[in-house]
A and B are shown apart, each in its own frame.
Chain A
Amino acid sequence: SYVLTQPPSVSVAPGKTARITCGGNNIGSKSVHWYQQKPGQAPVLVIYYDSDRPSGIPERFSGSNSGNTATLTISRVEAGDEADYYCQVWDSSSDHPVVFGGGTKLTVL
């Protein structure tokens, strides 16, 4: 099945930009979705179809996808952005179509 690779952790100072990557073989040909999960809570979708934001998600959250890497970018990081972030793809040709990355812990310094 398809494998998504995320860095275990990313640290960023408040007000700076955080970039969380999601690597996969030719991931640029697939649609990537991103979820934010805070402790004790269910995941929340923050980006879908590579770069679209659901209503209620701040414009500070953006996404891109090309080649073998998709990226979630969080601008002007706030303390409240500290959470685990998961990428996910849909591989319609696979018998394992819904795949999650291992997750990245974003720490706001």
Chain B
Amino acid sequence: QVQLQESGPGLVKPSETLSLTCAVSGYSISSGYYWGWIRQPPGKGLEWIGSIYHSGSTYYNPSLKSRVTISVDTSKNQFSLKLSSVTAADTAVYYCARDANGSGSYYPLWGQGTLVTVSS
């Protein structure tokens, strides 16, 4: 059974870089699928951040593109999110997810999410 687990600091200072990792168990990340990050500010809706194909190709939400990097570490079977120059508006629950069929079209498998607060 495939499982995803986010990890990283729960508190990040303004202007610094948010770094999260999604550990994947039960499936080899290098074998296929798109792996994505989605966030949800407190009390608000879902926002797609970006996705990475198992081969390493990426695509990002244009509104965040200048600050986002998503990468894959096949040796550790995990993928990561870096979001630079954070502000309070980046405070959110961050989810990692896997798509259904390698097309990137929808995401049936999610991690439990991790809350990241941006504050000094």
B110 contacts A42, C-beta separation under 8 Å:
yes
- Near B by CB (< 8 A), chain A positions 89-108 give 90, 92, 95-103
In the bound complex, CA of A86 to CA of B95 (Å): 15
Interface residues of B toward A: which range? 20 to 34
B45 contacts A98, C-beta separation under 8 Å:
no
Q: Is the interface of B mostly helix, strand, loop or mixed?
A: loop
Q: Which residues of A contact B112 (CB under 8 A)?
A: 41-42
- Kindly supply a per-residue 1/0 record for chain A positions 34-54, scoring 1 wherever the CB is within 8 Å of any chain B CB and 0 otherwise: 010100011111001000001
Task: Please tell me which one of the listed residues B46, B95, B104, B106 contacts residue A103 in the complex, with CB atoms under 8 A apart.
Answer: B46
Q: Which residues of B contact A103 (CB under 8 A)?
A: 45-46
Q: Which residues of A contact B51 (CB under 8 A)?
A: 98
Query: Across chains A and B, which 3 residue pairs bring their CB atoms closest together, nearest first?
Result: A90-B105, A98-B48, A33-B106
Q: Which residues of B contact A (CB under 8 A)?
A: 36, 38, 45-48, 51, 59, 61-63, 95, 100, 103-108, 110-113
